[in-house]
Structure 1
Amino acid sequence: MDTCLRQSPHHIVITKTRDRPDHTLTRCNVHCVRTDIFARLDREPEPPKIETPRMSRHRIALFGGTLAFYLAIVLAVLVSSWLVALDWKVMLFRPYQQWPELHAFLDYYVVLGQRGPTAVMVASWLGWRSWRQHTLRPLLTLGTSLLLLNLSVGAVKLGLGRLGPHYATQIGSAELFAGGDIFPSGHTANAVVTWGILAYLATTPRARRYLSALSAFVSLGVGLTTVYIGTHWLSDVLLGWAAGLLILLALPWFEPLITRTEAWILAVREQWRARRRLRESVPPAPVSPEPVLLPRTPGSGTGPEAAAREAMNSRSTASGAAARAGTAARARAHQGHPVRAERTPPAGTRRPPHAERPPRSSAGPARPVAGGPVAP
Structure 2
Amino acid sequence: MRTERNLTRLDRVFARLDREPERPAHIDVPKMSRHRVVLFGATLAFYVAIVWAVAITSWLVRFDWQVMFFRPYQQWPEIHAFLDYYVVLGQRGPTAVMVAAWLGWRSWRQHTLRPLLTLGASLLLLNITVGAAKLGMGRLGPHYAITIGSNEMGLGGDIFPSGHTANAVVTWGILAYLASTPRARRWLSALSAVTSLGVGLTTVYLGTHWLSDVLLGWAAGLLILLALPWVEPLIARAEAEIFSLRDSWRARRGRGAPSPTLEPAHAGGPPSAASPVGAPVMVPHSTVADGEVPARETVGAARVPRAPVYLAPGPHTARSERTPVTPVGSRRPPHPDRAARGTTTASARPLTGG
TM-score range, shorter chain: 0.5 to 0.7
Equivalenced residue count is: 247
- Paired with 1:257 and 1:131, the residues of 2 have a C-alpha distance of 21
CA contact (8 A) 1:164 1:231 kept: yes
The AA in structure 2 aligned to 1:97 is: Q
Deviation at 1:209, TM superposition (A): 1.0
**1:96 counterpart = 2:73:** yes
CA contact (8 A) 2:72 2:206 kept: yes
What corresponds to 1:199 in structure 2? 176
In structure 2, runs of 5+ residues without a counterpart are 5-13, 261-354
What corresponds to 2:290 in structure 1? none
The AA in structure 2 aligned to 1:237 is: V
What corresponds to 1:124 in structure 2? 101
* TM alignment of 1:218-233, pairs within 5 A: 218-233=195-210
**1:216 counterpart = 2:193:** yes
CA contact (8 A) 2:21 2:110 kept: no
Q: Secondary structure at the match of 2:257?
A: helix
- Paired with 1:71 and 1:256, the residues of 2 have a C-alpha distance of 28
**1:134 counterpart = 2:115:** no
Q: Secondary structure at the match of 1:253?
A: helix
**Residue 278 to residue 42, structure 1, CA distance change in 2 (3 Å):** farther
- Paired with 2:194 and 2:244, the residues of 1 have a C-alpha distance of 40
- Paired with 1:93 and 1:141, the residues of 2 have a C-alpha distance of 41
The superposition leaves residues 169-189 of structure 1 with CA deviations (integer Å, 9 ceiling, x where unpaired) of 110011111111000000000
What corresponds to 2:84 in structure 1? 107
The superposition leaves residues 192-211 of structure 1 with CA deviations (integer Å, 9 ceiling, x where unpaired) of 00000000000101111111
What corresponds to 2:155 in structure 1? 178
Structure 1 residue corresponding to 2:32, chosen from 51, 55, 58? 55
* TM alignment of 1:236-315, pairs within 5 A: 236-281=213-258
CA contact (8 A) 1:114 1:191 kept: yes
CA contact (8 A) 2:23 2:111 kept: yes
- Paired with 1:43 and 1:78, the residues of 2 have a C-alpha distance of 50
Deviation at 1:132, TM superposition (A): 1.2
**Residue 281 to residue 42, structure 1, CA distance change in 2 (3 Å):** farther
CA contact (8 A) 2:130 2:220 kept: yes
The superposition leaves residues 326-353 of structure 1 with CA deviations (integer Å, 9 ceiling, x where unpaired) of xxxxxxxxxxxxxxxxxxxxxxxxxxxx
Deviation at 1:245, TM superposition (A): 0.3
The AA in structure 2 aligned to 1:143 is: G
The AA in structure 1 aligned to 2:54 is: V
CA contact (8 A) 1:193 1:248 kept: yes
The TM-score with structure 2 as length reference comes to 0.68
What corresponds to 1:83 in structure 2? 60
- Paired with 1:195 and 1:250, the residues of 2 have a C-alpha distance of 16
- Paired with 1:44 and 1:201, the residues of 2 have a C-alpha distance of 16
CA contact (8 A) 1:185 1:236 kept: yes
The superposition leaves residues 245-303 of structure 1 with CA deviations (integer Å, 9 ceiling, x where unpaired) of 000000000000000000000000001111111111176xxxxxxxxxxxxxxxxxxxx
**Residue 43 to residue 153, structure 1, CA distance change in 2 (3 Å):** closer
- Paired with 1:46 and 1:243, the residues of 2 have a C-alpha distance of 34
- Paired with 2:55 and 2:259, the residues of 1 have a C-alpha distance of 69
In structure 1, runs of 5+ residues without a counterpart are 1-10, 12-36, 284-376
- Paired with 1:259 and 1:46, the residues of 2 have a C-alpha distance of 16
What corresponds to 1:334 in structure 2? none
Q: Secondary structure at the match of 1:180?
A: coil
Deviation at 1:64, TM superposition (A): 0.2
The superposition leaves residues 11-37 of structure 1 with CA deviations (integer Å, 9 ceiling, x where unpaired) of 9xxxxxxxxxxxxxxxxxxxxxxxxx9
The CA RMSD measured in Å over matched residues stands at 1.9
What corresponds to 2:332 in structure 1? none
Deviation at 1:120, TM superposition (A): 0.1
What corresponds to 2:292 in structure 1? none
Deviation at 1:45, TM superposition (A): 3.0
**1:147 counterpart = 2:128:** no
**Residue 266 to residue 105, structure 1, CA distance change in 2 (3 Å):** same
The superposition leaves residues 119-178 of structure 1 with CA deviations (integer Å, 9 ceiling, x where unpaired) of 000000000111111110000000000000000000000001100000001100111111
**1:190 counterpart = 2:167:** yes
The superposition leaves residues 307-332 of structure 1 with CA deviations (integer Å, 9 ceiling, x where unpaired) of xxxxxxxxxxxxxxxxxxxxxxxxxx
CA contact (8 A) 1:47 1:135 kept: no
- Paired with 1:280 and 1:235, the residues of 2 have a C-alpha distance of 63
The TM-score with structure 1 as length reference comes to 0.64
**Residue 257 to residue 278, structure 1, CA distance change in 2 (3 Å):** same
The AA in structure 1 aligned to 2:95 is: T
Q: Secondary structure at the match of 1:183?
A: coil
**Residue 153 to residue 41, structure 1, CA distance change in 2 (3 Å):** closer
Q: Secondary structure at the match of 1:171?
A: coil
What corresponds to 2:42 in structure 1? 65
The superposition leaves residues 54-98 of structure 1 with CA deviations (integer Å, 9 ceiling, x where unpaired) of 100000000000000000000011110100000000000000000
